[in-house]
Amino acid sequence: MANDKVTLTDHRTQKSYELPLNDGHIRAADLRQIKTGPDDFGMMSYDPAFMNTASCKSAVTYLDGENGILRYRGYPIEELAENCTFLEVAYLLLNGELPSQNELKDWVEQVSQHRLVHENLKKFIDGFHYDAHPMGILTSTVAALSTFYPEAHNIKDKLNRKQQILRLVAKMPTIAAYAFRHSLGLPYVFPENDLSYTENFMHMLWKRTEPRYQSNPVLARALDVLFILHADHEQNASTSVMRAVGSSHADPYAATAAACAALSGPLHGGANEEVLVMLAQIGSVDNVKDYVKHIKEGKGKLMGFGHRVYKNYDPRARIIKRTAEEVFKVTGRNPKLDIALELEKIALEDEYFVKRKLYPNVDFYSGIIYQAMGFKPEMFTVLFAIPRVAGWLAQWQEMLEDPEQKIARPRQIYIGKELRHVTGKSAGLRAVASD
Ligand code: ACO
């Protein structure tokens, strides 16, 4: 309501302040008027890890963690996963509406035409050691793209931005597939324009000497669904990095590379790889109880469990679990699934996990599907990054068009030494003098 406000009383000064509320929130800058005297900088809120700070207004993704709800541009994730392709969803995130038939035809054609990468970019990938982590290759190669498109720094030009967005969405699978083939010592495969986004990706990954690689339609669709589920997730760590780097007006390749780096951490997108490591460590269903006991004793975390925002089942995990059934009909059952199911069952009944509202997140089952499809665990986070580029870029664009946004620059509370002085020469200079 227009007249909503809160009244704060500062008991240091006995003064009261009325702070207006907008949609139930105060502006942190309004706290600055709360001072003890003219020399006081004014009050700040202290919020390590941004547990309770909204850094932007966004119309891209709605997330209600208490009730397990996720919507892109108002559409429930379940309906998008059921009825759309990844490229339709990417268009929705980037443009705000699902495409008409003509718009979709145009968008798909344009993405297909931009799949190729410059030959020099391949040489760049060639320079990586044979066992370089594909996520490291992806991050560095995306950063290198900025040197191929220097005009990308002109971030204020909407048309120019559109061109770079198109390139990034189109080239991510190509770079990812080349990173994968580099690790196997296989030649890179040219993209095929007439294949869908995921069919073409599978073709670039797995084509050997056959004249035409035939992807399995169930697996191609499963990959498409997984891409839809990973396309955006509002202000998570990597998206916040995308916005923060973009806020300095760095070009979108630099910002996307930084977001990839944030995603690679095991507490974020890297968790799907860690889940597989954990399941391998557990080894068999019989060992699950002991493993859970070991976690409850504080010896590590159950990877793929818990979420900063979801305090109810992650709706993406539910869809992924269903997708797994489809995939296993084609690939055969991944034996790790039994360990995962037992782990989930025991954890969901256990007081430790119930009390802390720890549920399986998107990463718990995705790795098991990817492994059944033939991906090595090192590729899992790369598979996360490909679709997330659509979300990152939608958020980046929104940030640039938001008149309230400026360069991201949090405050700190200084806890270091008071002013002190250097007395005499430092140890380094004394050493030089005695040489
Ligand atoms: N296993 C065991 N205990 C856990 C787990 C877990 N996976 N996650 C949280 N806890 C415990 C914490 O130890 C803490 O316990 P305490 O209150 O006794 O100290 C409590 O639950 C709260 O956890 P926090 O760490 O405060 O939760 P936070 O919101 O900071 O962390 C995170 C969220 C990083 C996702 C965390 O749950 C985690 O590390 N999970 C495992 C890694 C993972 O799966 N990451 C992927 C997230 S989804 C994504 O990024 C795509």
DSSP H helices in 283-379: 288-296, 315-331, 336-349, 351-355, 362-373
Question: Does any ligand 1 atom lie closer than 6 A to the CB of residue 357?
Answer: no
Q: How far apart are CA 343 and CA 337, in angstroms?
A: 10
Which atom of ligand 1 has the smallest separation from the CA of 314? 48
DSSP 58: -
Compute the residue count for the chain: 435
Q: Whose CA is nearest to atom 47 of ligand 1?
A: 268
Neighbours of 36 (CB within 10 A): 12
Residue 8 pairs in a beta bridge with: 17
Q: Whose CA is nearest to atom 37 of ligand 1?
A: 306
CB 179 within 8 A of CB 134: yes
Q: Which domains does the chain have, with CATH numbers?
A: 77-270+377-401 (1.10.580.10), 280-372 (1.10.230.10)
Question: Does any ligand 1 atom lie closer than 6 A to the CB of residue 308?
Answer: yes
User: What is the torsion angle, in degrees rounded to the nearest 10, for the CA atoms of residue 300, residue 305, residue 308 and residue 312?
Assistant: -140
DSSP 234: S
Active-site residue 25, yes or no? no
User: What is the torsion angle, in degrees rounded to the nearest 10, for the CA atoms of residue 166, residue 168, residue 169 and residue 172?
Assistant: 150
Q: How far is CA 84 from CA 36, 92, 107, in A?
A: 57, 10, 14
Mention every residue, 6+ apart, whose C-beta is less than 8 A from residue 300: 294
Question: Does any ligand 1 atom lie closer than 6 A to the CB of residue 230?
Answer: no
Please tell me the distance between residue 307's alpha carbon and the centre of ligand 1 in angstroms.
6
Question: Does any ligand 1 atom lie closer than 6 A to the CB of residue 289?
Answer: no
Residue 323 pairs in a beta bridge with: none
Mutation pick for ligand 1 pocket among 236, 297, 311, 358 (CB with most ligand atoms within 8 Å): 358
Structure tokens at 22: 């907008």
Would you give per-residue pLDDT tens digits along the chain (435 residues)? 667 999 999 999 999 999 999 989 999 999 999 999 999 999 999 999 999 999 999 999 999 999 999 999 999 999 999 999 999 999 999 999 999 999 999 999 999 999 999 999 999 999 999 999 999 999 999 999 999 999 999 999 999 999 999 999 999 999 999 999 999 999 999 999 999 999 999 999 999 999 999 999 999 999 999 999 999 999 999 999 999 999 999 999 999 999 999 999 988 888 888 899 999 999 999 999 999 999 999 999 999 999 988 888 889 988 998 899 999 999 998 888 899 999 999 988 999 999 999 988 888 889 889 999 999 889 999 999 999 999 999 999 999 999 999 999 999 999 999 999 999 888 888 877 666
Please report the sign of the dihedral spanned by the C-alpha atoms of residue 180, residue 393, residue 139, residue 263: negative
Q: Whose CA is nearest to atom 24 of ligand 1?
A: 308
Structure tokens at 327: 């995939």
Question: Does any ligand 1 atom lie closer than 6 A to the CB of residue 294?
Answer: no
Question: Does any ligand 1 atom lie closer than 6 A to the CB of residue 391?
Answer: no
The model's pTM: 0.92
